[in-house]
Amino acid sequence: MLSGKVISVISGKGGVGKSTVSTNLALSLAKLGKSVALIDVDIYGSSIPNMLTINYGPKTMNGKIVPVESHGVKVMSMGFIVKNNDPVVLRGPMLGKVIEQFINDVLWGELDYVVIDMPPGTGDVALDINRLIPSSYQILVTTPHPTASHVAQRAGKMANANNHQILGVVENMAYFQPAESEPKYYIFGEGESDKLADSLGTQLIAQLPIMAPIKGEVEPSIYHEGTPLYEKYMELARKIEELIG
Ligand SMILES: Nc1ncnc2c1ncn2[C@@H]1O[C@H](COP(=O)(O)OP(=O)(O)OP(=O)(O)O)[C@@H](O)[C@H]1O
């Protein structure tokens, strides 16, 4: 069974950086000394094993699953079930069973936080998670582009309607800043995420810059110490600790 506070990372559109945020947030919470699980139920776009360069699956013990550990975080992913990057061909009810297994049949141990990387949008998996975890904290990831925030609003409304508490909006790819001493360029515009947060009765809790993955980096989506995004993710983790303890 799962213990700890559940933080579901949701988005309206795909490709806004939800998995990147989930992964880096989980790692930052672990850096604060918390016991953290990262569950990737982004069925069709599962990318967390790749982001963490995990190329082996979980083991079993007495019929239970032992999660894979990476950067001090316990990880379960749809990507462990699907081999060779094959397409997922499971239908809704089967997906529900897999998610149920992730929650009930994994030896999670005592946890402080469970970060769930949700699929984008408001489909079957979101409904399954709502059924299995009826109340959670949610973080809504969007980009500043008006189309992204428009679609994000639907996901936010679904969270509000289902007894989840939206902790806040994370605006990813908010701006580009060539160096710390230089100006910020708001490439996709400004102000949309504030409006989105307002309309959902929540707040903007982070603005994350565009930062290209470092070429040749083993884990290109993990922002390491010394980079501006590492600091931003640590700030976000501290903010979440402040908000929910
Ligand atoms: N702040 C950022 N700066 C630069 N690139 C980023 C940033 N955040 C995410 N990316 C890149 O954008 C792409 C999409 O990110 P990611 O896979 O996290 O999105 P997603 O919302 O989870 O997508 P999906 O629809 O597959 O669930 C990835 O290539 C990722 O490395």
Per-residue pLDDT of the chain (245 residues; tens, 9 = 90+): 789 999 999 998 888 999 999 999 999 999 999 999 999 988 777 789 889 989 888 999 998 999 999 999 999 998 887 766 555 555 666 777 888 889 899 999 999 999 999 988 767 777 778 788 888 899 999 999 888 888 888 888 877 777 789 999 999 999 999 988 999 999 999 999 999 999 999 999 999 999 875 656 677 789 988 889 999 999 999 999 999 98
The pLDDT assigned to 213 comes to: 59
Q: How far apart are CA 5 and CA 9, in angstroms?
A: 13
Torsion of CA 6, 233, 38, 91, to 10 degrees: 90
For residues 38 and 229, give the distance between their C-alpha atoms in angstroms, rounded to a whole number: 19
pLDDT of residue 63: 87
- Contact present, 226 and 188 (Cβ < 8 Å): no
Closest Cα to atom 12 of ligand 1: 17
Please indicate whether residue 219, judged by its CB atom, sits closer than 6 Å to ligand 1.
Answer: no
ipTM (interface predicted TM)? 0.98
Q: Is the CB of 41 under 6 A from ligand 1?
A: no
Pocket of ligand 1 contains residue 121 by CB under 6 Å = no
Query: Residue holding tokens 């910020």?
Result: 184
Q: What sign does the dihedral 213-40-50-223 (CA atoms) show? A: positive
Give the H/E segment covering residue 113.
strand 113-117
Contact 12, 148 (CB under 8 A): yes
Is 226 annotated as ligand-binding?
A: no
